[in-house]
A and B are shown apart, each in its own frame.
Chain A
Amino acid sequence: MKEFSLYLGCLIPNRYPGIEKATKLVLDRLGIKWSELKEASCCPAPGVFRSFDQTTWLTLASRNIVLGEEKKTDLLTICNGCFSSLMDANNILKNDSLQRVKVNDHLKKIGKQYKGTIEVRHIIEFLDKEIGTEKIDQMIERPLKLRVAVHYGCHLLKPTKERKLGDAEYPLFFDGLVEATGAISVPYEGKNSCCGAGGGVRSAMLETSLKMTEYKLQRIKKAGVDCIVEACPFCHLQYDSGQVELAKSGKVFNIPVVHYSQLLGLALGYSFEDVGLHLNATRNPEFENKVAQIQKKDASIK
């Protein structure tokens, strides 16, 4: 398999480095060649920057894409926001020559040029298409046996005509990857509803964003799960820190939040600390004991 440039964005290296560590461990174990995209900036985040000024958003995104073009590698993202900005910008610049000329005029000032030679990937669709659930299933000798609420996150799937990852109402591929680790993806009401963080809502209207988070958490709680598994550090932050924020007004859920890289890491035998889950704001000893018990049985295969 060819080499990929790992694009980390802002939230993963700067707020949830455990997800970064888990991702790197998992990519190595799966035999995927990767190197970091050096000199990368913010994607820039689709919520605020795409809302504020399309040209600025496109230009900064194009610079990150060009860094990948110069290395002749596709970009691998582990965040729905980064995936959204970089993939949408790449599609616009590939298909709209007027925008491309405009952006290249700006890029010229730093000696760069967008050519449109690479693709932008997201770790979930990437693992599904390039590795496959069967291979992942085979690599895991003893299953995790956790009941999981899968949260796709909006921008992994939508807009569907850009993503081309199938139906956004009843998607299946992420559930398949979760179940390949031995976990059970439990259905719950409002599964495809937003976590509440996006669009600049969390930063400017925290209370409003938390109402949407509470809606989700209530339904996830009702489904009776061990943890939430998502594919985006912003959803991760919203559920993880959001539970601490909600607890201040007496709304306690205590549901652990796990990025898929971390779940896969656990299933491949890495410890809770290896995959950085001890860095979460919401800790649940019951969950941690359950994982430890499963891994004890797994000790021989690590």
Chain B
Amino acid sequence: MKNSDILTCFQCGACTGSCPSGKYTSLNVRRIIKDSIKKDISDQLDLWMCTTCYNCQERCPRGINVTDAILSLRAEAVKKGHILPAHRAVCNFLIETGHAVPIDEIHIIIREKIGLSEPETVRKYPKALKDVKKLLESTGFNELIHE
């Protein structure tokens, strides 16, 4: 874990107490911060129960960027191949269409019905979509999420 800020954590638990997800799930932000200093927690599903609401980061009395730390831990997990199937699907949508949520047939019809033309996004401009694909190739994203 590169984020040296987290070494100043004194385990007060304000993060866990502020967590909307932890109310219902096994996500315990305090423990994640503690464990991540000592060991590799890339395979923990809890990492993906965070909605990134930033309550923990806002309320941390040590000023630790807690949510950013979770994002870093997630990135490490992804590098090691821990990717949930639904997230891989969203990534593939981005690679194929330039959108995390691409348009579908129903919404093409709904747009017409309410008098809206085709969205002015990459979908309408093939050259722009090609550019997006080129960038994803260039940053190594395709390779990163490849099964």
CB distance B99 to A14 under 8 Å? yes
Query: A13 at the A/B interface (Cβ < 8 Å)?
Result: yes
B 39-63 binary contact with A (CB < 8 Å = 1; else 0) = 0000000001111111101100000
CB distance B25 to A49 under 8 Å? no
Minimum C-beta distance from A142 to chain B (A): 25
CA distance A196 to B23 in the complex (A): 12
CB distance A160 to B58 under 8 Å? yes
CA distance A26 to B86 in the complex (A): 36
Among B65, B104, B121, B129, the most chain A Cβ lie within 10 Å of the Cβ of: B121
Query: B90 at the A/B interface (Cβ < 8 Å)?
Result: yes
What residues of B have a CB within 8 angstroms of the CB of A46 in the complex?
Answer: 52
Query: B138 at the A/B interface (Cβ < 8 Å)?
Result: yes
CA distance A291 to B133 in the complex (A): 45
Smallest CB gap from B137: residue in A:
A109
B 113-147 binary contact with A (CB < 8 Å = 1; else 0) = 01110011110110011011011101111001100
CB distance B128 to A52 under 8 Å? no
Chain A, range 166-195, C-beta contacts under 8 Å to B: 168, 193-194
What residues of B have a CB within 8 angstroms of the CB of A41 in the complex?
Answer: 98-99, 121-122, 128-129, 132
Query: A261 at the A/B interface (Cβ < 8 Å)?
Result: no
What residues of A have a CB within 8 angstroms of the CB of B144 in the complex?
Answer: 52-53, 56
The residue from A14, A44, A193, A199 contacting B94, defined by CB atoms under 8 A apart: A44
User: A-B pairs with CB below 8 Å: how many?
Assistant: 202
Query: B71 at the A/B interface (Cβ < 8 Å)?
Result: yes
CB distance B145 to A52 under 8 Å? yes
CB distance A48 to B100 under 8 Å? yes
Q: A8-B121, A39-B125, A40-B120 are in contact. Are A154 and B99 (CB under 8 A)?
A: no
CA distance A106 to B101 in the complex (A): 24
CB distance B103 to A200 under 8 Å? no
Q: A37-B120, A42-B94 are in contact. Are A51 and B57 (CB under 8 A)?
A: no
Minimum C-beta distance from A212 to chain B (A): 5
Smallest CB gap from B23: residue in A:
A215
CB distance A18 to B24 under 8 Å? no
Q: A15-B107, A52-B78, A107-B135 are in contact. Are A42 and B67 (CB under 8 A)?
A: no
Query: A266 at the A/B interface (Cβ < 8 Å)?
Result: no
Q: A14-B102, A38-B125, A52-B91 are in contact. Are A158 and B135 (CB under 8 A)?
A: no
What residues of A have a CB within 8 angstroms of the CB of B122 in the complex?
Answer: 39-41
The residue from A42, A63, A110, A212 contacting B100, defined by CB atoms under 8 A apart: A42
Query: A204 at the A/B interface (Cβ < 8 Å)?
Result: yes
Q: A13-B103, A14-B99, A201-B48 are in contact. Are A154 and B53 (CB under 8 A)?
A: yes
CB distance A14 to B107 under 8 Å? yes
CB distance B25 to A208 under 8 Å? yes
CB distance A159 to B86 under 8 Å? no
The residue from B71, B100, B107 contacting A51, defined by CB atoms under 8 A apart: B71
Chain B, range 75-120, C-beta contacts under 8 Å to A: 75, 78, 83-87, 89-91, 94, 98-104, 107, 110-111, 114-116, 119-120
Interface residues of A (CB under 8 A from B): 8, 10-11, 13-15, 17-18, 20-21, 36-42, 44-56, 59-60, 63, 106-107, 109-110, 112, 154-155, 158-160, 168, 193-194, 196-201, 203-205, 208-209, 211-212, 215, 273, 276, 279
Could you name 30 residue pairs across A and B whose Cβ atoms are closer than 8 Å?
Answer: A10-B102, A14-B101, A14-B102, A14-B119, A15-B101, A17-B110, A36-B120, A38-B120, A38-B125, A40-B121, A42-B101, A44-B94, A48-B87, A48-B90, A52-B141, A53-B144, A56-B141, A107-B135, A109-B134, A109-B135, A155-B52, A158-B57, A160-B58, A199-B48, A199-B51, A200-B87, A203-B90, A205-B48, A211-B24, A279-B114
User: What 6 A-B pairs are tightest by C-beta distance, nearest first?
Assistant: A158-B54, A39-B128, A13-B119, A199-B52, A41-B98, A51-B74
Q: A10-B101, A13-B116, A199-B50 are in contact. List 9 more A-B contacts (CB 8 A).
A: A14-B99, A21-B115, A39-B120, A41-B99, A42-B101, A51-B75, A52-B83, A201-B50, A276-B114
